[in-house]
Amino acid sequence: MNTAASPPSVPAGAALDRSDSDVVLIVDDVPDNLAVLHDALDESGYTVLVAMHGEAALQRAAQALPDIVLLDAMMPGMDGFEVARRLKASPQTAHIPIIFMTGLTETEHLVAALEAGGVDYVTKPIKPREVMARMGVHLGAARKARADASQAREARNALDAFGYASITVRALDGRIVWQTPLARELLQAYFGEASPWAPEAVQAWLRRHVLADNAAELLAQAQAEPPRLAIDQGARRLTFRLHQQAGDSEGGGDWLLVMREVSDAKIIESMSLSFKLTAREAEVLYWVVKGKINRDIGDILGASPATVKKHLERVFAKLGVETRTAAAGMAMNRIRQLHPQFEG
């Protein structure tokens, strides 16, 4: 074996700038092979990392998250097949495309490479131009997948920012395909421990509207969307809205559900901010919207009817109205703008 010094590479742990070049990790125990590929890729503008054994490959991949891995199949110790399996088993590196480099051309070895997680293979002796041509195909696909995932993630996080959580549920078995951070929090708050399955109430509601024999008829009758599912928990309510099909329709497909929590506290806070009311004035206005008279509001808030009346007079002045009906109507319009699921 040639013992020439291995080619220079990016230091471990160094920050990698992906703005101008893709990052390639080459894994091979033969320094000459590394040198040939390193030089060709470097001259073509790639950022190149190298590893000469399996453990180093796993470490470099976890540190740098390369855009693609060129992996020698046959190495002493941990071979390339095992390296690939471990990379694919880790959520952190599972997305990275792997191209095997092998001198073995028997069908079973090529099948083993693909079964271990490889997307492609090149045979030795390595021809750098062929390797780069194969890399181009898989890097393009990987970039598109990352962009699509990033766009979807940003859209879901934007929903979270406005108080709308979202999950995708497989209709056939109720498995949660993905969920936003806010969705995870809400599901745990309303249904207990986190689970890979949607709560049974959600599964039953989803099955009823997309898997039942008359589901198509029900959806057509509902026009825009079927009735929402509401889960009450004291003064809080969590609603689920069937938004759109997010996957293949086979077996019912995957469905995007949008969730929203509405609570007395949130609505009262919204009215306080919208109309520049004190917290107590906003509480009084909220219960006026709910149809309560002054005596009932006093009982709820622990105040006398006379005190409630004084608060209400200040509310009228701030809203520029003279009657309970006008105040309730103005507040209801604002609440429905901010909390569409609210039911007065």
CA distances from 261 to 97, 202, 291 (A): 40, 15, 22
CATH level 2 (architecture), domain 162-263:
2-Layer Sandwich (3.30)
User: Angle formed by the axes of helices 264-275 and 305-319, to 10°?
Assistant: 50
pLDDT in tens, the chain (344 residues): 443 444 444 444 444 555 567 899 999 988 888 888 898 998 988 999 999 999 999 999 999 889 999 999 888 889 999 999 999 988 888 889 999 988 776 667 778 888 888 888 888 888 888 899 889 888 887 777 766 666 666 655 555 655 678 888 988 889 998 888 889 989 999 998 778 899 999 999 988 887 766 555 655 554 456 788 988 876 678 889 887 776 555 556 788 898 888 777 878 888 898 899 999 999 999 999 988 999 999 998 898 999 999 999 999 999 999 999 999 999 988 888 777 656 55
**Looking at the DSSP assignment, which residues form a beta bridge with residue 238?**
231, 261
Within the chain, all domains assigned CATH 1.10.10.10 are found at 276-338
Separation of alpha carbons 41 and 57, rounded Å: 18
Q: Specify the pTM.
A: 0.43
Within the chain, all domains assigned CATH 3.30.450.20 are found at 162-263
In terms of Cβ atoms closer than 10 Å to its own Cβ (0-12, 13-18, 19+), residue 191 is middle
Domain 23-150 has CATH 3.30.390.30: no
Within the chain, all domains assigned CATH 3.40.50.2300 are found at 23-150
Report H helices in the chain.
31-43, 54-64, 80-89, 107-115, 128-161, 181-191, 200-210, 215-222, 264-275, 279-289, 294-301, 305-319, 324-338
Phi-psi region of 335 (alpha: psi -120 to 50; beta: other; left: phi over 0): alpha
Domain 276-338 has CATH 1.10.10.10: yes
